[in-house]
Structure 1
């Protein structure tokens, strides 16, 4: 009885045709579901005489495999058919979709411009590690042992020495570490700029960030004077902000330069008249600078009686904000496409 029923079902399954998901589901329910005819026949196997049970079981397995294989075949055919039907015909009368091009980040644009200006003045470009030892970041640069910058609240320390057993390792707080490495290893004279990423332990706000970018400059040779520093930065200001720009030097203090000065440039928004950007002073600060302290030269193995030098440093974010009138530092790192697209073609 079971053998005859198996033969009927095999013939039936071989002749079945399926053209829709509904028919496929009906096939599954009828033949291979837990309540289908194949399962029902397997349950009746217990009533078959013991000597015929093996032969009948093999026939049932053949039926079961056929039903499952046919189900998989019909599933694949329907899936391919649906994919082909889902492709809509193209309307050749529609306008061409524009090829959207990316744009350089504003910080990249300004960094390249700064490098271009200084390269034309004879400066080369140098790079150094972002993970640095205390010597290159602080000690060689004349920072006192109790200087606030050495505290945990100002600097990201990777490892802190205990009882002077080992040297502190930290994320550099400025690119001046590259200056020290150049003065230690490079043959004089040195004329180089050092762009790069730096880290400060500061709360993120519209005017501050824990990660930002600097470009510093160093010129060491015989008879380098403060006038050389002033002329260099004056030429940079005219190239970056316009030929009518003027600069102002204000006395300041940095551990690694003496004398030191803050550099202001005439506000390019109001042309020195006074506005919100320059706080109605007509000037905006762009850099810190000064003559390299003799102690720094000596720390790097340079005879301070024979050689002099100047150094300067500026924030690339600061220059970019001034150049494009950006009022929130966080925009540079939020990756807002609406903001970045404004610099296409810049």
Structure 2
């Protein structure tokens, strides 16, 4: 029911308080940015020096492990470092784009006497197509599709989902609140409020999937966006167990990634489910796809050399959540899960950079053609 958490920081990475190491990383990034000769090369540089595996991003993830009194200093060091790199990327992008446009205008000629297609072929955005395919999958199982408002009350987004008043997800670093201050309104951080509304309005039994747009106070990078899409599932009935949850997610993984997919559950913690887990499936790009007795490729960019790909969070709905929505946990049980649609698209189609999905270049959508 929430976005998959980031991978743990690499122990070999420099601390966020290691000023010389961070400065060296910034200098290396600035040199690579200046050396980029095309916008395509600059995109590669951006992924290398600001992506999840970069020194700066890894150090940034390590802030949470620092002593409380050191976090502000570390945040200042990393904030200044990221600011210098992103400013350099933006400036270089403008220079290269202008130079490439000027070169294209000077080298290309147009024969105005040739016939043209007055109605160019269009294509739906692959995110929209994938969301429809996901909805069709759940409808085919007999579930219903539920929707809700994107500007949501804090009670639906946090309190009803058993989140403590001081839970980190409520902070301004993660959540975008709607003015005026103290209004209790926010841009929903997950589609879970739709589940609460559905239980209140319709009671149990209930089987729904909730696709939609969600918002987080995240920086745009190769794998994250402040605006993205989730699909969450909720099943409430008598006698439901973790076995039903596993069967549902297994069917989903096999439908989209093939019948050979192997899945597993890893224990985790979410305030709205108990027990909670992360579901992974065996990497389908490297040697790991051949089975558990085959070692993964340590250089595989899809699974990071682990042999497993995170699918999403899941678990049995916490009794407190059922009570908040007016459902008696002594009579009905339920399971829930949350999946990122952008992540599924990136895995299915090998999209390396979130920027490709959101930049609005029509050629990206046309690559997928038209689906009906």
TM-score, length-normalised on structure 1? 0.69
Q: Which residue of 1 aligns with 2:166?
A: 146
Q: Deviations over 1:315-345 (max 9, x none)?
A: 0000000000001112111111222221114
Q: Does 1:231 align with 2:247?
A: yes
Q: Which residue of 2 aligns with 1:194?
A: 210
Structure 2 CA distance for aligned equivalents of residues 286 and 124 of structure 1: 22
Change in Cα spacing, 1:120 to 1:259, as seen in structure 2 (3 Å) is same
Q: Deviations over 1:278-300 (max 9, x none)?
A: 11222111111000000000111
**Residue aligned with 1:343, SS:** coil
Q: Does 1:263 align with 2:279?
A: yes
Q: Does 1:134 align with 2:154?
A: yes
Q: Which residue of 1 aligns with 2:257?
A: 241
2:263–2:281 Cα contact (<8 Å) kept: yes
Q: Which residue of 2 aligns with 1:325?
A: 350
In structure 2, runs of 5+ residues without a counterpart are 1-111, 291-295
**Residue aligned with 2:267, SS:** strand
Q: Deviations over 1:134-154 (max 9, x none)?
A: 110000000000001111111
**Residue aligned with 1:132, SS:** strand
Q: Report the RMSD for the aligned CA atoms in angstroms.
A: 1.8
State the structure with bigger RCO (CA 8 A, min sep 6), 1 or 2: 2
Q: Which residue of 1 aligns with 2:101?
A: none
Q: CA deviation at 1:97?
A: 4.5
Q: CA deviation at 1:159?
A: 3.3
The match for 1:159 among 179, 182, 185 is: 179
Q: CA deviation at 1:206?
A: 0.8
Report the count of equivalent residues: 251
Structure 1 CA distance for aligned equivalents of residues 273 and 260 of structure 2: 29
The match for 2:313 among 288, 302, 305 is: 288
Structure 2 CA distance for aligned equivalents of residues 263 and 117 of structure 1: 19
Q: Does 1:182 align with 2:207?
A: no
Q: Which residue of 2 aligns with 1:61?
A: none
**Residue aligned with 2:178, SS:** strand
2:204–2:332 Cα contact (<8 Å) kept: no
Q: Deviations over 1:173-226 (max 9, x none)?
A: 000000000111103210000000000001111111100000000000111111
Q: CA deviation at 1:161?
A: 5.6
Q: Which residue of 2 aligns with 1:106?
A: 126
Structure 2 CA distance for aligned equivalents of residues 206 and 345 of structure 1: 26
Q: CA deviation at 1:246?
A: 1.4
Q: Which residue of 2 aligns with 1:54?
A: none
Change in Cα spacing, 1:324 to 1:300, as seen in structure 2 (3 Å) is same
Structure 2 CA distance for aligned equivalents of residues 95 and 180 of structure 1: 56
Structure 2 CA distance for aligned equivalents of residues 344 and 306 of structure 1: 48
2:122–2:370 Cα contact (<8 Å) kept: no
Q: Deviations over 1:73-118 (max 9, x none)?
A: xxxxxxxxxxxxxxxxx98xx7785853101111012111111111
**Residue aligned with 1:215, SS:** strand
* Higher alpha-carbon Rg: 1
2:203–2:326 Cα contact (<8 Å) kept: no
Change in Cα spacing, 1:131 to 1:96, as seen in structure 2 (3 Å) is closer
Q: Does 1:311 align with 2:336?
A: yes
